[in-house]
């Protein structure tokens, strides 16, 4: 299947800016929330964030959602939050007790996170650096 390509010159974009501006008016405050910055130097936290945010509300106006639970996990298991090998020492229940009992692809999210972490820990990476 071939998708037709339309030129994007001014003569072809008549009304596009107006449509875009009208569409922006329909965005909610949550959709306009700034990106919180991720988890630099915290691979297990990034992994938990990715897995547990599947079909989950990240924040709510009442201070609930995934974000506060991720912070609690980081505060509770500060070594496991930074180090993949420390993270793998945790049990499913230690993770789900804080982050919840969500399921993805018929697997508990805690189990899925541990499986991904185990796969990452077992990768045989070859480092190449430029001269």
The domain containing residue 82 runs over which residues? 43-121
Is 52 domain-assigned? yes
For residue 30, tell me if it sits in a domain. no
Neighbours of 48 (CB within 10 A): 28
pLDDT in tens, 86-120: 999 999 999 999 999 999 989 999 999 999 999 99
Residue 69 lies in a domain: yes
Report yes or no on 98 lying in a domain: yes
Task: Check residue 107 and report its DSSP letter.
Answer: E
Two tokens, residue 15: 């009304």
* Sign of the dihedral defined by the CA atoms of residues 5, 6, 9, 10, in that order: negative
Q: Please tell me the predicted confidence (pLDDT) of residue 6.
A: 53
Distance of CA 70 to the CA centre of its chain: 11
Q: Assess if residue 14 is contained within a domain.
A: no
With a cut of 80, say whether residue 62 has pLDDT above it.
Answer: no
Question: What radius of gyration do the chain's Cα atoms show?
Answer: 21
Helix spans in 3-129 (H): 16-24, 43-52, 66-76, 78-82, 84-87, 92-99, 109-121
Q: How many structural domains compose the chain?
A: 1
* Residues in CB range of 95: below 8 A, 6 or more apart: 48, 73, 110, 113, 114
Instruction: Please tell me the predicted confidence (pLDDT) of residue 111.
Output: 96
């Amino acid at each position: 299947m071939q998708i037709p390509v339309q030129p994007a010159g001014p003569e072809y974009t008549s009304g596009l800016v107006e449509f875009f501006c009208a569409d922006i008016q329909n965005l909610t405050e949550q959709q306009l929330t700034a990106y919180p910055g991720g988890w630099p130097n915290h691979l297990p936290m990034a992994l938990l964030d990715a897995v547990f945010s599947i079909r989950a509300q990240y924040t709510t106006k009442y201070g609930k959602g995934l974000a506060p639970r991720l912070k609690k996990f980081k505060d509770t298991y500060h070594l496991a939050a930074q180090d993949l090998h420390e993270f793998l020492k945790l049990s499913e229940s230690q993770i789900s007790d804080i982050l919840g009992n969500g399921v993805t692809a018929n697997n508990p999210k805690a189990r899925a996170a541990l499986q991904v972490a185990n796969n990452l820990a077992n990768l045989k990476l070859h480092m190449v650096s430029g001269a």
